[in-house]
Amino acid sequence: MKKDKIIKILGVGNLLWLATVFFVYAGDLEMTKNKVDWVFFSDQVMGGKSQGKAQILHDQGNQFVRLKGDVSTANNGGFIQIRTSILGLKKDVKGLSLKVRGNGEKYYVFIRTTGTILPWHYYKADFPSKQEWSEVKLEFQRFTGSSSWLSKTIRPGAIKSVGIVAFGRDHKALIDVSDLEFF
């Protein structure tokens, strides 16, 4: 297929958005404990106004990633996120657990699979945050798809990435994640 046909099919805006998503990287955000590499990005990849950052920090020997910023719904925006790639989950995995602390806001886990081809396709489940560390367990059956085109259920072997997302409303975001495990 010729380059000009690809541009006509996808549109220049979508091509630029996809290129930006693939090349936006927030420095070295590798957590050594479980060898988790986190990538930060925000709605700015599509013209949004949210501001944020992610960094690896330590607290009393505990290593964690912090997602912090201001989520703005201005200009059709409304998210900041950290995401990590997932490969080779066993088929019998039922969900995931996180060790988190935050500022009392609601946050989301976004899961992308081999079936979430478009950038705005994902499965999501929300969780509350507390100022002290707590464990959050989310079974895959609790996740809902962002589109009726997506399968109703998540196949664990098809999971490509997991994101921690501040999303959908104007607010200050502050969420720390020290563990991401599957059960």
CATH number of the domain enclosing 124:
2.60.120.430
Q: Are 26 and 53 in contact (CB under 8 A)?
A: yes
Angstrom distance (rounded) from CA 80 to CA 110: 12
Domain with 14 in it: 3-182
In tens, the pLDDT along 42-83 reads: 999 899 999 999 999 999 888 999 999 999 999 998 999 999
Q: Are 83 and 39 in contact (CB under 8 A)?
A: yes
For the entire predicted model, the pTM comes to 0.82
Number of separate domains in the chain: 1
In tens, the pLDDT along 158-167 reads: 999 999 999 9
